[in-house]
Structure 1
Amino acid sequence: MSQQEKTSKKLHPLMFAGTGSDVGKSIITSAFCRIFLQDGYHPAPFKAQNMALNSYATPDGLEIGRAQAVQAEAAGIPCHTDMNPLLLKPTTDKVCQVVLNGKPTGNQHAYEYFKKEGREELRQEVYSAFDRLQERYNPIVMEGAGSISEINLREVDLVNMPMAMHAKANVILVADIDRGGVFASVYGSVMLLTEEERKYVKGILINKFRGDIRLFESGVKIIEDLCGIPVIGVVPYYKDIYIEEEDSVMLQTKNLQATHGKVNVAVVLLRHLSNFTDFNVLERDPRVHLYYTNNTDEIEKADIVLIPGSKSTLSDLYELRRNGVAQSIIKAHKNGATVVGICGGFQIMGQEVCDLNHVESNIDRLPGLGLLPITTQMEGEKVTRQVQFSFLDTDSICEGYEIHMGATVPVEDAKASPLNNLKDGRTDGYFLNEKCFGTYIHGILDNSAVIDYLLAPYADKLSEKTFDFKAFKEEQYNKLAEHVRKHVDMDLVYRIMEEGVV
């Protein structure tokens, strides 16, 4: 069979489900999207329901989980809401904003969301999204959520086994050996499935292995004998491959203090921080030392202070004023530091943030940091769109996306001073001077023209050349694919996908 004949053959979908949360399903899904692309297929990712504050705007101006946008990038295709038809964005520990097919449908309490009533309507929405996607791509690389065996939620589950059964997907169970208890987690997860569900589990992948893999050869046999399911691979833990993370759980552990010899960039660690991937390019830029902090001393040591987006701007602004971080940002700026706000951070930099209609909270209004002569009024309709723009007076076309609620305008006695001119004729942001500006555009820092401008006042610290983030990301996807391919039996994976489920 020729390569063309091989790749034109329809493969059954592959789902990576987990023994629990944070076992590496998203990264493994990204790896297989790139592997299938390298092998000549036309893959696409799919996750029926995702819970994350880190979202992304599709080319159609709709909203999906950032993880599926990353997976689509690994697959070499534009992202689409059919890849993540249901997105839950936590606003509190018990309440989420529900985004269906890219559009917010309102906030819902977790207890209400997981009730049986209305569940079938959501189920049909995610099934329809998958069906549309499967007509356009081959194969579909699916991702489950949390544990495959949340038996208390079996009747209302939309994303794990019911989704796999609708898709007739071959399920690979992913287990994290680094956290311990891998035998119990794998065996328990399989045994808690119904007899019908177990038919769909065709392989087990052991992830995040540390040490000499040969020492686990007996472990592989034990798992296969216990479960009657083949282990398709044991993937080692890695430290030298950089793929965007799905959530911000570990941000506070990253580079917690300023250092000498580079431009020190502090990202203010907000309680409801969203779209932290805005800063990935700076994390990788060799000219920069970036750290996340809400420590007032560390903020005041920074050359550049970045105020990120927030899912709850007024709540985070209140906290910044309460814990002294607001004063430390203002002090850092007075002492010569650059301060830049993105989305909610842009709103926070102004004179005032108002929420008279209680769109976001019960707080009517709060004074901002007073660094920019702007005022913001929260509004009920969410703006989601991809944008092309020119930054200040540069000629190069930059790209980014907007996801925000609220309208920001100059205060009465301030003149307009936009930071960006959008391709459609609109303007964005506010430019006070080279060391104080804000924008609604996420991904603005992915553009080299913006990064070079941001770092220019600190040229005496710079020795490295401009960083090509797009080329860097492509290199990382390829390294990830090579790493996983090396430790997975891809011939077995293809046989599983060609045979399909029983």
Structure 2
Amino acid sequence: MITKKLRPIMFVGTGSDVGKSVINAAFCRIFKQDGYNPAPFKAQNMSLNSYPTKDGLEIGRAQAAQAGACGIECSVDMNPILLKPNNNITAQLVLNGRAVANKSAAEYFDKSTHGNLFKYATEAFDRLNSLHNPIVMEGAGSISEVNLWDRDIVNMRMALYADAAVYLIADIDRGGVFGSLYGTIMLLPPEQRNSIKGIIINKFRGDINLFEQGRKMVEELTGIPLVAVVPYLDDIFIEQEDSLSHQRHTSENNQRRVVVAVVLLKHLSNFTDFNMLERHPAVQLIYACTAADLADADIVIIPGSKNTISDMGYLRRSGLAKAILEHHAQGKPLYGICGGFQMMGEMIYDPHHIEGETEAMPALSILPISTTLLPEKTTRQCTFHTTEFDASGNGYEIHVGVTASHRPFAILDNGQKDGFYLNAKCWGTYIHGVFDNPSVVASILNQISADVPCAPDYETIKEQGYDRLADWVRQCTDMEYIYRTMKYD
């Protein structure tokens, strides 16, 4: 392992969804391949897709995936501040892995709050930086949101604190790449502008050789080297965190034998629960927005939710609840994960107003259970074995509900009972990642067809994805220049 200390590298963006998380993961794996001991870091993340560390602390899923690219266990110092939106107005603040409060945007962006949060962010960075080399940092959204600069704790303020070599990423696929790059850079104060060492253009389609003039124009306009033009990729598997990604990841092969419909909730969380199903050769995965989307589904899954009561009301208003009940009445397979499991029960109680003002909500009454939401959140990794069929595997819990069950779906490694098993075609569980396990996937697909092929090994898919992504980015990047900018003077 190389011990010579490198300066941190930070990937920031001209906007949201330009590919920062994926580029970050690529460099995490590149540095690992090159003999370093890297670790990811994002001071503040906003996502409904989270993951528990080994010690039961909650971080954004992107940093957990990036830790995987580094070949290390994820830790809370990789993402000390996590925001999980409850609705359009408030979000749950998770600080150092623990939920501490619900904050409105005004409350969160109060200067006194952000001053304290920046202290937590820098302390986490310092701890991580003392253990790993280099730190691969990620910004959030756009760095040119001038109205937020005085409250920034995740972008250029963090870059300057870390003395990071900063690389600005722009998405050419959405158009306007010259304006977004030039405007972003010119809006920055001189100190921040000088910290940007290079530009990466992402998601390029077509013949890169035809962009040679464009490359020169970018450098002339900005005065900053263009170090990489990354071609658009759509066949390399990397876990995504963006909550809009499910719209792009719906399977397109309509020749597959089993149609699995995931109900598209308004507050859907942890959509990575369906990565294995999405890549199964026998599965056509769809996200169901309307009752009509469920009509031809062989299997329906109700996913997790950040606001179960609100989403239960949405199911009724949209007609999806009626369609789910009709699906179940026809004897077709129906399964629920976390909030989806809670919605399959008879009642959801919220006496402490965890999710809002509604204290009780009738649910679908498919399973003979009721759930009470409590302030204390369960966050832990787990292993399990099912009680009524031969399946086992790994997963994780992130939930605030307590649901009594006299017929559990599974027994966890700590001896606790989980979920409810009605029959082979209907059960619910709190275990996120339950469908990452081939034995569970086989059990649900066999309800439709006895000769479906085996599910791919999820861990192998992830490792292959990291290596292919690293190769993809490395071949179009001036790595010699990047390493030069990461040297300490």
Give the counterpart letter for 2:434 in structure 1: I
**Counterpart-to-counterpart distance in 1, 2:407 and 2:106:** 46
> Compared with structure 1, are the counterparts of its residues 435 and 163 closer, same or farther at alpha carbon in structure 2 (3 Å cutoff)?
same
Give the counterpart letter for 1:356 in structure 2: P
Q: Partner of 1:117: helix, strand, or coil?
A: helix
1:464 aligns to 2:480 (yes or no): no
**Counterpart-to-counterpart distance in 2, 1:444 and 1:129:** 31
Q: Partner of 1:93: helix, strand, or coil?
A: coil
Alignment of 1:23-62 (within 5 A): 23-62=18-57
**Counterpart-to-counterpart distance in 1, 2:254 and 2:154:** 44
Alignment of 1:212-361 (within 5 A): 212-252=207-247, 254-255=249-250, 259=254, 261-361=256-356
**Counterpart-to-counterpart distance in 2, 1:112 and 1:289:** 43
Deviates more, 1:233-242 or 1:338-347: 233-242
Q: Tell me if the contact between 2:445 and 2:452 (Cα under 8 Å) persists in the aligned partners.
A: no
Cα drift, residue 482 of structure 1: 0.7
Correspondence for 1:197 among 192, 208, 226:
192
Partner in structure 1 of residue 424 of structure 2: 434
List per-residue Cα deviations over 1:385-433 (Å, max 9, x = no partner).
Answer: 11111123567651111111111114xxxxx111111111111111010
Give the counterpart letter for 1:273 in structure 2: L
Give the counterpart letter for 1:175 in structure 2: A
Q: Partner of 1:380: helix, strand, or coil?
A: strand
> Compared with structure 1, are the counterparts of its residues 396 and 323 closer, same or farther at alpha carbon in structure 2 (3 Å cutoff)?
closer
Cα drift, residue 257 of structure 1: 9.2
1:126 aligns to 2:121 (yes or no): yes
**Counterpart-to-counterpart distance in 1, 2:484 and 2:184:** 24
Deviates more, 1:262-271 or 1:219-228: 219-228
Partner in structure 2 of residue 473 of structure 1: 462
Give the counterpart letter for 2:192 in structure 1: E
1:18 aligns to 2:10 (yes or no): no
Correspondence for 1:63 among 53, 58, 61:
58
Q: Tell me if the contact between 1:16 and 1:25 (Cα under 8 Å) persists in the aligned partners.
A: yes
**Counterpart-to-counterpart distance in 1, 2:471 and 2:457:** 21
1:179 aligns to 2:195 (yes or no): no
Cα drift, residue 226 of structure 1: 2.1
**Counterpart-to-counterpart distance in 1, 2:250 and 2:272:** 16
Alignment of 1:379-390 (within 5 A): 379-390=374-385
List per-residue Cα deviations over 1:439-478 (Å, max 9, x = no partner).
Answer: 0111111111111111121234x44233211111111111
TM-score between the two structures when normalised by the length of structure 1: 0.94
Q: Tell me if the contact between 1:252 and 1:269 (Cα under 8 Å) persists in the aligned partners.
A: no
**Counterpart-to-counterpart distance in 2, 1:26 and 1:446:** 22
Cα drift, residue 118 of structure 1: 2.7
**Counterpart-to-counterpart distance in 2, 1:67 and 1:316:** 25
Q: Partner of 1:118: helix, strand, or coil?
A: helix
TM-score between the two structures when normalised by the length of structure 2: 0.97
Count of aligned positions:
489
1:417 aligns to 2:407 (yes or no): yes
Give the counterpart letter for 1:320 in structure 2: L
Deviates more, 1:93-102 or 1:254-263: 254-263
Cα drift, residue 74 of structure 1: 1.0
Cα drift, residue 261 of structure 1: 4.3
Q: Tell me if the contact between 1:256 and 1:292 (Cα under 8 Å) persists in the aligned partners.
A: no
Correspondence for 1:452 among 430, 442, 448:
442
5+ long unaligned stretches in structure 2: none
> Compared with structure 1, are the counterparts of its residues 346 and 258 closer, same or farther at alpha carbon in structure 2 (3 Å cutoff)?
farther
Q: State the percentage of identical aligned residues.
A: 54
Q: Partner of 1:174: helix, strand, or coil?
A: strand
> Compared with structure 1, are the counterparts of its residues 210 and 252 closer, same or farther at alpha carbon in structure 2 (3 Å cutoff)?
closer
Q: Partner of 1:15: helix, strand, or coil?
A: strand
**Counterpart-to-counterpart distance in 1, 2:389 and 2:325:** 28
> Compared with structure 1, are the counterparts of its residues 488 and 100 closer, same or farther at alpha carbon in structure 2 (3 Å cutoff)?
same
1:143 aligns to 2:138 (yes or no): yes
**Counterpart-to-counterpart distance in 2, 1:184 and 1:432:** 57
**Counterpart-to-counterpart distance in 1, 2:51 and 2:245:** 20
> Compared with structure 1, are the counterparts of its residues 270 and 387 closer, same or farther at alpha carbon in structure 2 (3 Å cutoff)?
same
Q: Tell me if the contact between 2:259 and 2:283 (Cα under 8 Å) persists in the aligned partners.
A: yes
Partner in structure 2 of residue 494 of structure 1: 483
Correspondence for 2:95 among 96, 100, 106:
100
5+ long unaligned stretches in structure 1: 411-415
> Compared with structure 1, are the counterparts of its residues 257 and 433 closer, same or farther at alpha carbon in structure 2 (3 Å cutoff)?
farther
Q: Tell me if the contact between 1:59 and 1:386 (Cα under 8 Å) persists in the aligned partners.
A: yes
Partner in structure 2 of residue 413 of structure 1: none
